[in-house]
Amino acid sequence: MMFTQPSASLRRVSILAIDKVFASTLMQAKDFFHLASLRYSKQLGLGLQPMFDIRLVSPDSQPVDSFSNVQLPVDGGLDDADVIILPAYWDDFDNLLQRYPQVLPWLREQHARGAVLCAEASGVFWLAESGLLDGKEATTYWRFFNSFAERFPKIRLNQDKHLTDADNIYCAGGATSACDLYIYLIERFCGANVARAVSRDILYEVQRNYTPGRMGFGGQKLHQDLIILQIQHWLEEHFADKFRFEDVARNHGMSIRNFMRRFQGATGDKPLHYLQRLRIETAKGLLSSTRKSIKTISYEVGYDDASFFARLFRQHTELSPNQYRQQFMQEA
C-alpha cells in the first residue's frame, strides 16, 4: 500500500513497559519513532523539535524492572494513543495477566477508537488474549509457535511470515521484522521521505533472511469470501510466476468474469492491480535492503522486461527504481 501524503493523525505513541520487558525492544521502538518525529519536524521546516509525544507507559504508572534488572522510569499510565507498541518480555504470561489486569481492556478500548496496535514476539500474546486477533492472521517468535497455537486456536497463526497485519493490528516475529514494521508505520504517518531517512539512519547494515514488504494487504483480507481469500494466499506465494488469471479462476471453479467481479468486491482491488502491488512492494524491499541490479529484481518479482518494470514502479511510487534506492543510500 502506498502512502504518498503524510497523515496528520499521529499525535501520541505509547510503548508498554512491564516487569521483565526486554529493554532493548522497548527502546528500539522509542528510538525509531523519536527519530521519525525529529525528521518529520525538520521536513516541515520546524527545526528539530519533536512532533509526536512518545511515551513509555506502565499499567500503574510506576517504574518497571526489565529482564536484565534495569529499572526503567515511565512517563505515565495507560492513556489514549494513536499507536501502541507491545514489546517483547521474558516471563510467564499468566503471571503478567494477573499482575496487570488493566492491559486487556485498554487494548480493546484503544482499538475501538482507532488506535494502531503493534506487538513484537512474546508481546503478541497480549493482542491474542484480548480477542482482537480472533479469526485473523498473526505471527510471533518461532519459539512460541506451539504454545501460541494451543492457547489461541481461533487465531490463524502463520509460521511462514515475519510480519502480519489485519484491521490496524500488526504482529512482528522478532526484532528485525519489528524494525521493518516501524518503518512501514513511519511511512504511513510521516510520508515516504521520512521513512527512507529513518531507514537510512538506522538500518543500513541490517541483513535479513527474508524480504520485507507486502504490508498493508491484511485489511483486504477482512471479508467472508473464502475462495477469494485462498486466491490471495496463492498470489502471495506465486506472485513472481507466469500465470493467467483465467487459469486461476478456472482452477477455483469460476469463470473469469465471475472471478473479476468477486475479487474486486471482496478486496476493493482489481486482480491485476493487486498483483502489481504485491510485486512492487516486494521490489521496494529488495531495492532498499540488497544491492541486486534492477534487472535482477525485475526478474525476481515477475517481470522479464526491466523497462516495463521501471515504468510500472514509477506509476506506483512516483520514483524510478534507482531513485528509490538512492534515497536509502545517500548520506543524511
Q: Give the confidence band of 7 by pLDDT, cuts at 50, 70, 90.
A: very low
Range with lowest mean pLDDT among 13-22, 198-207, 313-322 = 198-207
Phi, psi angles (nearest 5°) of residue 164: -135, 155
User: CATH homologous superfamily for 273-329?
Assistant: Homeodomain-like (1.10.10.60)
Residues 37, 107: contact at Cβ < 8 Å?
no
d(CA 127, CA 235): 27
* pLDDT recorded at residue 218: 66
Amino acid at site 28: Q
Reported as a single tens digit per residue, the pLDDT across 250-285 is: 999 999 999 999 999 988 889 999 999 999 988 988
Task: Check residue 94 and report its DSSP letter.
Answer: H
Instruction: Give the residue with greater pLDDT, 110 vs 230.
Output: 110
% of the chain beyond a pLDDT of 90? 62
pLDDT in tens, 84-131: 999 999 999 999 999 999 999 999 999 999 999 999 999 999 999 999
Gap between the Cα atoms of 67 and 82, Å rounded: 27
Surface-to-core class of residue 314, CB atoms within 10 Å of its CB (0-12 exposed, 13-18 middle, 19+ buried): middle
* Range of lowest pLDDT (78-92, 184-198, 205-219): 205-219
Report how far residue 194's alpha carbon sits from residue 286's, in angstroms, rounded to the nearest whole number.
19
The pLDDT value given to residue 5: 39
Whether 129 contacts 138, CB under 8 Å = no
Q: Name the H helices within the chain.
A: 23-43, 93-99, 103-112, 124-130, 145-151, 175-190, 192-202, 226-238, 245-251, 256-267, 271-289, 294-300, 306-317, 321-329
Per-residue confidence band for 220, with pLDDT thresholds at 50, 70 and 90: confident
Distance CA 256, CA 247 (A): 8
Residue 141 has what pLDDT? Answer: 93
Residue type, 261: R
| pLDDT class of 61 with cuts at 50, 70, 90 | very high
At residue 244, does pLDDT exceed 70?
yes
pLDDT at 207 over 60: no
Contact 79, 57 (CB under 8 A): yes
Q: Which pLDDT tens digit goes with each residue over 113-124?
A: 999 999 999 999
Fold of the 12-202 domain:
Rossmann fold (3.40.50)
Per DSSP, the residues of 289-321 read H----HHHHHHHTT-S-HHHHHHHHHHHHSS-H
Domain ranges of the chain: 12-202, 223-268, 273-329
Interatomic CA distance for residues 277 and 270, integer angstroms: 11
First-to-final CA distance of the chain: 26
- Comparison of pLDDT for 124 and 201, the residue scoring more: 124
**54 DSSP β-pair partners:** 13
Are the CB atoms for 17 and 56 separated by under 8 Å?
Answer: yes
Share the mean pLDDT of the chain.
Answer: 88
> Residue 207: how many CB atoms within 10 A of its CB?
8
pLDDT digits (tens, 9 = 90+) for 39-56: 998 888 887 788 889 999
Cell of 134: 480472533
